Amino acid sequence: MTETHYRACHLCEAICGLKIEVSGEEIISIKGDPDDPLSRGHICPKAVALKDIHEDPDRLRYPVKRLRADDGEDSWVEISWEEALDTAAEALLRANRDHGVDSIGVYLGNPSVHNYGMLTHQNHLFRWLRTRNRYSATSVDQLPHHLTSLWLFGHKSLFPIPDIDRSEYFLMLGANPLASNGSIWTVPDVKKRIKDLKHRGGQLLVVDPRRTETAELANEHLAIVPGSDALFLAALLNTLFTEGLTNPRALASFTQGLEEVAAAVVDFTPEYAEQHTGIAADTIRRIARDFAAADAAVCYGRMGVSTQRFGALCQWLIQLINIATGNLDREGGSLFTLPAVDQVPRTGPGGFDRHRSRVRGLPEFDRELPAAALAEEITTPGEGQIRVLFTGAGNPVLSTPNGRALDDALPQLEFMISLDPYINETTRHADLILPPTSPLEHDHYDIAFHINAIRNTTRYNPAIFEPAADKLHDWQIFTALGERVAKGLGEDPKDDAAPHELVDLGLQYGPYGKDTEHELNLDKLKAAPSGIDLGPLKPQLPERLMTADKQIDCATPAPLADLKRLAEEFSGDTPAPRLRLIGRRHVRSNNSWMHNYHRLVKGKARDQLLVHPKDLAEHELADGDRATLESRSGAVTVTLQASDEVMPGVVSLPHGFGHGRTGIRLHTARKHAGVSCNDVTDAAYLDDLSGNAAINGVPVTLKAAS
């Protein structure tokens, strides 16, 4: 008998609605849900891979313990949950007792925000172990967004969302939503939305070193020298101020500091920017004028501008452009969502630079240190050295800068615990791996991504398959570990609610809850498995601001001071690198763990290094050659692909590959091993302001492989 279940896809930020047909324990089909008010029936190829994930024979079903051998041929053996949880708790307590709480390190990967049980319950463990050595994928990704939101709007999670469905002029930098399905912007079916924008006479202008899939669809693509985006943005602001094109409109009554910003960018002229960005001064002026003249315009930048040497400055300048032209909190500009489970008023706003890393003195954000510091904090002796590491849903050996150094550091740990369903490039070093249930074996609610959505919607979906009684969800793992650690510390752990109960409370006491016309609760969502439409985004300022005075202060001291570093970087005293490395994303490949599924890796190989034909000729190389790509921190051997997608002087290698290491159990991924771009990114190459990794614009050299 066939049954139809409804589900939001959790594999990227688009959270597309799905209709999944099953027969017994078998998935028959996965299709888009036309009744989902956000995705409207759209899905991408990742959604159909949910079948591969659920059925993957490489996925661990029960805890495993490493059996170390003198000859280095370690093996793994399944153990009971009781033994696994007891052993893990003992290791954490021992480190805390013998070396102090900061001897415990924690790294959480990107998939943790796609699973609401990890978000609601990780603190059931970490509340007892308040180590300063916490790390996550945030500082190799969106940290500049959080920091800018904290500075300007008073909360780390107040992200202005591009209102593309009503915009007339869209300036996009370092983003490729046709591949990512949106990022810090939950925007399913973005290709149709872009076509609709153009059909109504609107314009999309993409600024990127590569002619991406999104750039191909744009009205105009401008190639920019990697790492120079802050100069381009500062020159846009300079033009807006010097030509009298600013008009904050409704923001004026609660916005201050624009005069200080105007004075700070006075020397960042379009002519100055042209020398370093490769974009003509007249073009910069034209863009500023067109942006200011549009009835509704938005400037948006994503990973390409966040993960560079001036990532935080870029994101701050982007928001100032929207503010100075009155396009923040405006239909067709950028607006804040109002999610049904609204975490903004109920969670801490975040903080910055309240303590620093032990070895290099890098600043924390929201109690996390930059991931680029993790390896050195393991290998450098002294008080606070990491002796025991807990990783959750992460593969930092492949996803953090100079991953080879971390790969070498992990065997030096006294003990390592991983909450993960796979033996991958990172977890192969663990002593214990604690695998959670399959994604389709637990319920789902998107706490994180409804706050970034192009429209206010909400949906909850129960599990599709009932897990075996001897399996645990990740929130149950955190709870059980936390109980053991608490008792070991002489504390009394509280009996807290399950994730769905917390969501029910969030719905009832949220902006559409029991005191509103919507009267939302979990039962209502269960009765509407395709989700409930709560309407388009609307202006909410100044009420939604979380600043103490309900004001936007544009004269933020830290980025204002960072303009001096920007000027020094592009002073012309240092010769520019001959080649710079950038990453790239593919619609079938968001993360390293997506390479173990047949439906996502089939087709043409996608792990080559893109090189402009002019650069190939100058290096006496050819399409298809094997070559050595080298940076200050490492080298890899790559296959070259001639491509005029990248501008001369730029090479592009995708993220997430490097599956040729010994000891991993990812059979499909090993057949498409590729090399890790993070074996050549540099842990010392950072955004000095935020501590975010600068994995785009890395200086590299290229030569024929020996």
Whole-angstrom CA distances from 331 to 296, 484, 500, 540 are 7, 51, 33, 11
Element (H, E) at 566: helix 557-569
User: For 348-377, what is each residue's pLDDT tens digit?
Assistant: 999 999 999 999 999 999 999 999 999 999
What is the pLDDT at residue 396? 97
Torsion of the alpha carbons at 318, 324, 326 and 327, rounded to the nearest 10: -10
Q: Which two tokens stand for residue 396?
A: 């930092």
**Which backbone phi and psi does 606 adopt, to 5 degrees?**
-125, 20
602: left (phi over 0), alpha (psi -120 to 50) or beta: beta
Kindly provide the b/e burial profile for residues 186-203, where b requires at least 16 CB atoms within 10 angstroms of the residue's own CB.
bbbbbeebbeebeeeebb
Contacts for 231 with CB less than 8 Å, ≥ 6 apart: 268, 272, 273, 276, 277, 566, 570
Does position 422 have pLDDT exceeding 80, yes or no?
A: yes
At residue 371's C-alpha, the angle toward residues 230 and 559, to 5°, is: 30
Q: Which two tokens stand for residue 595?
A: 């390479």
Give the HSE-up count for residue 329: Cα atoms under 13 Å, Cβ half-sphere: 21
Mean pLDDT value of segment 445-468: 96
Contacts for 389 with CB less than 8 Å, ≥ 6 apart: 104, 105, 106, 107, 378, 410, 413, 415, 416, 417
What is the pLDDT at residue 317? 98
Is residue 399 within 8 A of residue 140, CB to CB? The reply is yes
Query: Counting beta carbons within 10 angstroms of the beta carbon of residue 475, is it exposed (0 to 12), middle (13 to 18) or buried (19 or more)?
Result: buried
The mean-pLDDT minimum among 16-20, 113-117, 163-167, 327-331 falls in 113-117
Mean pLDDT value of segment 570-596: 85
Q: State the amino acid at position 497 in one-letter form.
A: A
Element (H, E) at 560: helix 557-569
What is the pLDDT at residue 219? 98
Is residue 59 within 8 A of residue 421, CB to CB? The reply is yes
Q: Residue 599: which pLDDT band, with cuts at 50, 70 and 90?
A: confident
Does position 572 have pLDDT exceeding 80, yes or no?
A: no
User: For 279-320, what is each residue's pLDDT tens digit?
Assistant: 999 999 999 999 999 999 999 999 999 999 999 999 999 999
Q: At what angle do helices 229-242 and 311-324 cross, to 10 degrees?
A: 20
Distance separating alpha carbons of residues 348 and 509, to the nearest angstrom: 18
**DSSP SS3 for 705:** coil
Mean pLDDT value of segment 162-182: 96
What is the pLDDT at residue 73? 80
The rounded percent of the chain whose pLDDT value lies above 90 is 92
User: For 630-656, what is each residue's pLDDT tens digit?
Assistant: 999 999 999 999 999 999 999 999 999
Is residue 535 within 8 A of residue 335, CB to CB? The reply is no
Does position 587 have pLDDT exceeding 90, yes or no?
A: no
Q: At what angle do helices 311-324 and 557-569 cross, to 10 degrees?
A: 120
Distance separating alpha carbons of residues 104 and 414, to the nearest angstrom: 10
Is residue 370 within 8 A of residue 357, CB to CB? The reply is yes
Does position 591 have pLDDT exceeding 90, yes or no?
A: no
The rounded percent of the chain whose pLDDT value lies above 70 is 100
Q: Are strands 432-434 and 444-445 parallel, antiparallel or unpaired?
A: unpaired
Q: Residue 589: which pLDDT band, with cuts at 50, 70 and 90?
A: confident
Mean pLDDT value of segment 135-153: 97
Is residue 11 within 8 A of residue 4, CB to CB? The reply is no
Give the HSE-up count for residue 75: Cα atoms under 13 Å, Cβ half-sphere: 6
Does position 41 have pLDDT exceeding 90, yes or no?
A: yes
What is the pLDDT at residue 590? 72
User: For 247-258, what is each residue's pLDDT tens digit?
Assistant: 999 999 999 999
Does position 559 have pLDDT exceeding 90, yes or no?
A: yes
Round the average pLDDT of the chain to a whole number and report it. Answer: 96
Mean pLDDT value of segment 603-617: 95
Does position 68 have pLDDT exceeding 90, yes or no?
A: no
Query: Counting beta carbons within 10 angstroms of the beta carbon of residue 602, is it exposed (0 to 12), middle (13 to 18) or buried (19 or more)?
Result: exposed
Q: Can you state the percent helix, strand and coil of the chain, rounding each to 5?
A: 35, 20, 45
What is the pLDDT at residue 70? 78
**Closest by CA position to 124, among listed 501, 443, 493, 499:** 493
Mean pLDDT value of segment 213-236: 98
Distance separating alpha carbons of residues 89 and 354, to the nearest angstrom: 29
Mean pLDDT value of segment 101-125: 94
**Closest by CA position to 15, among listed 141, 438, 521, 37:** 37
What is the pLDDT at residue 638? 98
Domains in the chain (CATH in brackets) are: 77-141+355-439+474-488 (3.40.50.740), 143-340+549-564 (3.40.228.10), 575-704 (2.40.40.20)
Distance separating alpha carbons of residues 227 and 233, to the nearest angstrom: 12
User: For 659-677, what is each residue's pLDDT tens digit?
Assistant: 999 999 999 999 999 999 9
